[in-house]
């Protein structure tokens, strides 16, 4: 039996175990997906132990996504993003970032054409994944962040990207076709990081926040006629991409989606 898992701290409320186990059940794969919560200073030992025990694959979440980068062989995208969310232990442990693929596949699932200009709000882990993913799709990427220096640092690493303060959002969005909220704004309270008047029907809007599934940003974007993509789609497709990398099989996306959404 193969063992997969999630490394983070805390991981108690993670939706990854039911999502992956639904895939194993659907395809009749003998496998389990378990959560591990090492203390931060035990991370190198945890990874070495996982390899020694024959664990097949690990997802990685807060606070370990950056630190794992130095403990595995990252692929080019994970190295550029500076974060690993998926480790593959077949052969030398390799590190991947499926958050980026999750964003692209979530848009594709909604028939969004990734062309023209994209506005990424946020420059933390999700913002970095979004900026590199959309630039790799040849979009012109504009990064807006509360701390402008962080946006500038990210824009410096992403080909053709530009950095802006949050109050530039109305101007940035006027001719944009894609908007990603990669901040945590909207999670705790019913607030949006983007002024409602800046939203328009030419946009496809993805909110990385998935609790709640329908954020204020998505509500207002929908009312403005925009295509809306909730954060559960991103979460789903980062899991789908990890599953496919680990197993080499096409993921049963609908079964994984049902398992995920029934718990949100
Ligand atoms: P992070 O690295 O801590 O970055 C947080 C970002 O939010 C930063 O850009 C920060 O700006 C900004 N921010 C925080 N509070 C703000 C406020 N009050 N006003 C304006 N900006 C604010 O976090 P992360 O890992 O990128 O996660 C961001 C969000 O994405 C979270 O809600 C997380 O759950 C979600 N996420 C979803 C998925 C998915 O699969 N759906 C995957 C990953 C993350 P400063 O730089 O100025 O601090």
Q: Report pLDDT for 46.
A: 97
Domain ranges in the chain? Answer: 2-96+233-261, 101-229
Task: Give the model's pLDDT for residue 126.
Answer: 96
The pLDDT tens digits for 72-92 are 999 999 999 999 999 999 999
Reading the block at residue 31, the tokens are 């496998």
**What distance in Å separates the CA atoms of residue 65 and residue 45, rounded to the nearest whole number?**
16
Pocket test for ligand 1, best of 59, 163, 182 (most atoms within 8 A of CB): 182
Q: For residues 100-109, give the mean pLDDT.
A: 98
Catalytic residues: 65
For residue 224, the model assigns a pLDDT of: 98
Pairwise CA distance, residues 80 & 129, whole Å: 9
Spacing, Cα 182 to ligand 1 middle (Å): 5
Q: Which of 217, 235, 230 is nearest to 101 (CA)?
A: 235
Place of tokens 């690493």: 157
Q: Is 211 helix (H, G, I), strand (E, B) or coil?
A: coil
Q: Looking at residue 175, what is its pLDDT?
A: 98
Q: How far is the C-alpha of 169 from the C-alpha of 241, rounded, in Å?
A: 31
Q: Give me the helices (H) in the chain, please.
A: 16-27, 43-53, 76-81, 98-109, 125-136, 148-157, 169-173, 216-223, 231-247, 253-261
Domain 101-229 carries which CATH code? 3.40.50.720
Instruction: Read off the pLDDT band of 164 (50, 70, 90).
Output: very high
* Residue 210 and residue 231 in contact, taking contact as beta carbons nearer than 8 Å: yes
pLDDT of residue 121: 98
Confidence of residue 36 (pLDDT cuts 50, 70, 90): very high
Using alpha carbons, select from 239, 244, 221 the residue that is nearest to residue 173.
Answer: 221
Q: Residue 64 burial (CB < 10 Å; 0-12/13-18/19+)?
A: buried
Task: In whole angstroms, give the CA distance from residue 213 to residue 218.
Answer: 9
Read off the pLDDT band of 20 (50, 70, 90): very high
For the four alpha carbons of 185, 155, 98 and 41, in that order, the dihedral sign comes to negative
Ligand 1 centre distance from Cα of residue 31 (Å): 32
CA–centroid distance, 146 to ligand 1, in Å, is: 11
Where does ligand 1 bind, in terms of residues with CB under 6 Å?
99, 102, 122-127, 145-147, 150, 182-185, 187, 193, 208-210, 231, 234-235, 238
Ligand 1 atom at minimal distance to the Cα of residue 125: 26
What's the whole-number mean pLDDT along residues 53-68?
97
Which CATH entry fits the domain spanning 2-96+233-261: 3.10.20.30, 3.40.50.2000, 3.40.50.10860, 3.90.1300.10? 3.40.50.10860
Token pair listed for 36: 């591990």
Helix (H) or strand (E) holding 6: strand 2-7
**Fold equal for 2-96+233-261 and 101-229:** yes
Residue 57 and residue 47 in contact, taking contact as beta carbons nearer than 8 Å = no
Average pLDDT over the chain, rounded to whole? 97
Nearest atom, ligand 1, residue 127 CA:
26
100 C-alpha to center of ligand 1: Å? 15
Element (H, E) at 35: strand 31-36
Q: Average pLDDT, stretch 134-143?
A: 98
Contact 155, 162 (CB under 8 A): yes
Per-residue pLDDT tens over the stretch 175-185 = 999 999 999 99
Q: How confident is the model at residue 70 (pLDDT cuts 50, 70, 90)?
A: very high
Instruction: Give the SS3 label for residue 253.
Output: helix
Q: Are strands 227-229 and 2-7 parallel, antiparallel or unpaired?
A: unpaired
pLDDT value at position 85?
97
φ, ψ of residue 91 to 5 degrees: the values are 80, -150
């Amino acid at each position: 039996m193969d063992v997969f898992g999630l490394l983070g701290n805390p991981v108690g409320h993670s939706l990854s175990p039911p999502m992956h186990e639904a895939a194993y059940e659907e395809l009749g794969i003998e496998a389990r997906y378990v959560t591990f919560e090492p203390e931060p200073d035990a991370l190198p030992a945890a990874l070495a132990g996982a390899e020694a025990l024959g664990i097949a694959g690990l997802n990685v979440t807060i606070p370990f996504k950056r630190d794992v980068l130095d403990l595995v062989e990252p692929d080019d995208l994970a190295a550029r993003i500076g974060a690993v969310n998926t480790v593959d232990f077949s052969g030398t442990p390799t590190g991947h970032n499926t958050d980026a693929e999750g964003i692209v596949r979530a848009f594709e699932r909604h028939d969004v054409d990734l062309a023209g200009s994209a506005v990424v709000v946020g420059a933390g882990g999700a913002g970095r994944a979004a900026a590199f993913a959309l630039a790799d799709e040849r979009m012109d990427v504009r990064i807006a962040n509360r701390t402008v220096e962080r946006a500038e640092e990210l824009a410096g690493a992403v080909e053709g990207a530009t950095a802006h303060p949050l109050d530039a959002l109305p101007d940035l969005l006027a001719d944009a076709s894609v908007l990603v909220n990669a901040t945590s704004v909207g999670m705790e309270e019913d607030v949006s990081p983007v002024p409602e008047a800046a939203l328009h029907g030419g946009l496809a809007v993805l909110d990385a926040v998935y609790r709640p599934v329908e954020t204020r940003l998505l509500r207002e974007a929908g009312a403005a006629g925009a295509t809306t993509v909730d954060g559960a789609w991103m979460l789903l497709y980062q899991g789908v991409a990890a599953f496919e990398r680990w197993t080499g099989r096409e993921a049963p996306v609908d079964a994984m989606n049902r398992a995920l959404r029934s718990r949100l």
